[in-house]
Amino acid sequence: MAEYKLITTEGRAKRGEFKTVHGTIQTPVFMNVGTIAAIKGAVSTVDLHEIGTQVELSNTYHLHVRPGDKVVKQLGGLHEFMNWDRPILTDSGGFQVFSLAKLRKIKEEGVYFNSHIDGHKIFMGPEQSMQIQSNLASTIAMAFDECPSSVADRDYVQKSVARTTRWLKRCKDEMARLNSLPDTINKNQLLFGINQGAVYEDIRIEHAQAIAEMDLDGYAVGGLAVGESHEEMYRILDEVVPHLPQNKPTYLMGVGTPANILEGVERGIDFFDCVYPSRNGRHGHVYTNHGKMNLFNAKYETDTAPIEEGCGCPCCQNYSRAYVRHLLKAKEMLGMRLCVLHNLYYYNHLMTDIRAAIEEGRYAGFKEEALYQMKTYDKQ
């Protein structure tokens, strides 16, 4: 079912289209993160339509723990459960294995760890991750991997990556089996493999070449934005992305700031996701074309302008900086909601502008100007 069409390129930047069973994704795209099948900040799927969201991202581990993937399957899958009719990507639970490091034991068969909610023992391996994601019936499932720390030693990283490759083969086999079962909700579920290797280019390149041969539906670069510098991340992308298939979507996991996205697109990335727009929005930090603003700043107390002039989001169309600041100061939930809506709208429409710039062959200039403008508030 999946079909990735490369519309045009500028340097390594790609403008593509990815057809899925739940609709066509225009790339580059920013996926809006709804970890537990909801965007934090009281934002609904009805809102997501209004702010131009193409893909929603949910988390396999969290939904397995609560309400339980079998419950979601019983209710018709994630799309039915959360009333969303566009693509959904589920991450595999691999990152939780990394972030809940104190609680886990990694073996060849998979990972044993304790629930962060009530401490009960959970086992997750490639087959379990695929089964949970099949129950959730997302559009795109991510392969189960280990995300080694950016400071892990070379020997550990090498062994970890070799195991991730073995796990990927098991994921692919299990997904093929699940997609063939009569009671599977989404029999066209897609699988993306994940490139790992910490900051060692040679390990990453070798891994990219190995997984490229598996002919998956898409490929992700994982294990970045976990402690290494931005420069290091860009260097790794420069080295690795050319070894991933250009005729498949490429996804940079967990990244990032608007500047990171502009740099990632230039290096051939199609898919991005990050909690920044929602997390920062909940704390009154809002993104604009001129950089990030902190609405708690006293200078906005009587400012009647919208967060950003010309912005089409529900917040900027209706409310002033002064009013939103008042809501935030008063700890009124509406303040948080309006900031999250603005930030997600900003990210979604930054991607629209990026796609237009690549199509029109002016991305290099667009990126340079956008990065320059984003520093405006820093200079004041």
85 is annotated as an active-site residue: no
Active site residue 91: yes
pLDDT at residue 117, rounded to an integer = 79
Say if residue 1's pLDDT is above 70: no
Q: Which of 304, 90, 120, 96 is nearest to 191 (CA)?
A: 90
Could you tell me if 194 and 314 lie in one domain?
no
pLDDT category at 300 given cuts 50, 70, 90 is very high
Residue 105 belongs to some domain of the structure: yes
Q: What is the pLDDT of residue 94?
A: 78
User: pTM for this one?
Assistant: 0.97
Dist. CA 207–CA 196, nearest whole Å: 7
In this predicted structure, the answer to whether residue 36 has a pLDDT above a threshold of 80 is yes
Q: Is 303 part of any domain?
A: yes
The answer on 327 and 268 residing in a single domain is no
What is the residue range of 151's domain? 3-274
Lowest mean pLDDT among 30-34, 228-232, 327-331: 228-232
* pLDDT for the residue 378: 66
Rounded to a whole number, what is the largest CA-CA distance in the chain? 61
Given strand 3-10, what is the order of strands in its sheet? 3-10, 13-20, 23-27
pLDDT at 379: 61
Residue 37 sits in the same domain as residue 118: yes
Percent of the chain with pLDDT over 70: 98
User: Which pLDDT value is given to residue 102?
Assistant: 67
Model confidence pLDDT, tens digit, residues 261-295: 999 999 999 999 999 999 999 999 999 999 999 99
**Are 81 and 221 in a shared domain?**
yes
Among candidate residues 73, 62, 64, the one with its CA nearest the CA of residue 36: 62
Strands 3-10 and 190-195: unpaired
Judge if 268 and 288 occupy the same domain. Answer: no
Q: Are residues 169 and 260 in the same domain?
A: yes
pLDDT digits (tens, 9 = 90+) for 51-86: 999 999 999 999 998 999 999 999 999 999 999 999
98 — pLDDT class (breaks 50, 70, 90): low
Is residue 279 assigned to a domain?
A: no
In this predicted structure, the answer to whether residue 182 has a pLDDT above a threshold of 60 is yes
- Yes or no: say if 272 and 29 are a contact pair by the CB < 8 Å rule: yes
Last residue of a domain, one of 235, 256, 274: 274
pLDDT of residue 228: 85
pLDDT of residue 95: 79
Mark whether 214 and 300 lie in a shared domain: no
- Domains in the chain: how many in total? 2
**316 in any annotated domain:** yes
Q: Report the pLDDT value the prediction gives residue 120, as an integer from 0 to 100.
A: 83
Residues 316 and 210 placed together within one structural domain of the fold = no
> Residues 22, 79: contact at Cβ < 8 Å?
yes
Last residue within a domain, chosen from 274, 297, 320: 274
Is 249:27 a contact under the CB 8 Å cutoff? yes
Q: Nearest to residue 256, comparing CAs of 276, 271, 237?
A: 276
The answer on 129 and 265 residing in a single domain is yes
The yes-or-no verdict on residue 97 having pLDDT over 80 is no
What is the per-residue pLDDT for 355? 98
Q: Tell me which of 274, 302, 336 is where a domain ends.
A: 274
| CA–CA distance, 297 with 159 (Å, rounded to integer) | 49
Backbone angles phi, psi at 262, to 5 degrees: -60, -40
- Do 198 and 318 lie in one domain? The reply is no
**Domain of 70: which CATH number?**
3.20.20.105
Considering Cα of 316, then 281, then 254, then 84, what sign does the dihedral take?
Answer: negative
Amino acid, res. 243: H
Judge whether 251 and 271 are in contact, CB under 8 Å.
yes
Q: 313: which residues sit within 8 A by CB, 6+ positions away?
A: 51, 307, 341, 342, 345, 346
In a domain, 297, yes or no: yes
Active-site position among 69, 91, 145, 217: 91
Which tens digit of pLDDT belongs to each residue from 102-157?
678 899 999 998 887 788 888 999 999 999 999 999 999 999 999 888 889 999 99
Q: Distance between CA atoms of 59 and 5, rounded to whole angstroms?
A: 27
Pair (243, 362) in one structural domain: no
Active-site residue, from 47, 217, 270, 273? 273
Provide the 10 A C-beta neighbour count for residue 380: 8
Residue 291 near residue 377 (C-beta atoms within 8 A)? yes
Asked if 109 and 61 sit in the same domain, the reply is: yes
Contacts of residue 214, Cβ cutoff 8 Å, sequence gap at least 6? 168, 169, 172, 193
